[in-house]
Structure 1
Amino acid sequence: MSIETVLAEARTGLRRVEPHEALRLQDDGALLVDIRPRHNREAEGEIPGSVPIERIVLEWRLDPRGEHRIEGVTEQTTVIVLCNEGYASSLAARDLQQVGLPAATDLVGGFRAWAAAGLPVRAEVTPAIT
């Protein structure tokens, strides 16, 4: 199976969101999770209020029943995952649904679509949760 097929299958279970909708959902309490590597965040900035979590520990930090989850994550938490352009985030959101976050999804076009839409970006880089 090709990665294009894997990606298409992952997206069948997601209700992906556009940048302006992601901002509205964030204002309503959704958790924006940035899985981009630090060098990308340093070069391009971050979304204010987003939480950078390294992809390698994503499921452990967001499993609503896991002992290593970050504070406040429950099965009802809406999580919007973002990467550079919206590819890796689709796979990550699918994986989060599989560990008990049915409202997990991702940002169409990723961080770059957010920035291109003129939405807020901050230059300071937050240390990622590891």
Structure 2
Amino acid sequence: MAKQHSPRFLQLVAEARSRIRECTVEDVRRRIEAGERFVLIDVREESEYAAGHAVGAIHLSKGVIERDIESKFPDPQTPLVLYCGGGYRSALAADNLQKMGYTNVVSMEGGWRAWVQAGLPVEHGTAPTNTSG
């Protein structure tokens, strides 16, 4: 069952969505099948990522993505596709990355739930531990 979000949070997400680009799970599937080069980033919490994530996705949680993105992907033109549980946190993260100068970032609508519902490949396990703070 999807979490019920507060009105202020939903307003914040709506504002972010007015400034970002979004894509569907099907768009991401087509990009993968076409061999397109992009980075798929799971912005959920580490425990969510460990429980299951899209095959090939790297983990940069919403709590650290703004801090760590430049060290991992210094080129602000790097194609980035962000996803979370349902498309809310990834929209907020995409908005912030754009504010940081990233020009090729999109948020995947429906997030992890849509990925699983579409029957796309998943894997389990934790991301490497980031000890920098």
Give the TM-score, by structure 1 length.
Answer: 0.82
Contact persistence 2:62–2:89 (CA under 8 A):
no
Q: 1:35 aligns with which of 40, 43, 63?
A: 43
Amino acid at match of 2:53: E
- Matches of 1:48 and 1:73, distance apart in 2: 23
Task: Percent identity, please.
Answer: 30
Please list the CA deviations of residues 94-124 of structure 1 after superposition, one character each: whole Å capped at 9, or x if unmatched. 0000101122121101111111101111123
Deviation at 1:47, TM superposition (A): 1.1
Q: How does 1:11-30 map to 2 (within 5 A)?
A: 11-26=17-32, 27-30=35-38
Q: CA RMSD in A?
A: 2.0
Q: CA 1:57/1:41 → structure 2, altered by over 3 Å: closer, same or farther? A: closer
- Structure 1: gaps of 5 or more residues: 64-68
The equivalent of 2:15 in structure 1 is 9
Q: How many residues align?
A: 123
The equivalent of 2:111 in structure 1 is 110
Q: How does 1:1-130 map to 2 (within 5 A)?
A: 2-26=8-32, 27-43=35-51, 45-63=52-70, 69-70=71-72, 72-127=73-128, 129=130
- Structure 2: gaps of 5 or more residues: 1-6
Of Structure 1 and Structure 2, the greater strand share is in: 2
Give the TM-score, by structure 2 length.
Answer: 0.81
The equivalent of 1:66 in structure 2 is none
Contact persistence 2:50–2:127 (CA under 8 A):
no
Q: Secondary structure at the match of 2:21?
A: coil
Contact persistence 1:46–1:121 (CA under 8 A):
yes
Contact persistence 2:49–2:59 (CA under 8 A):
no
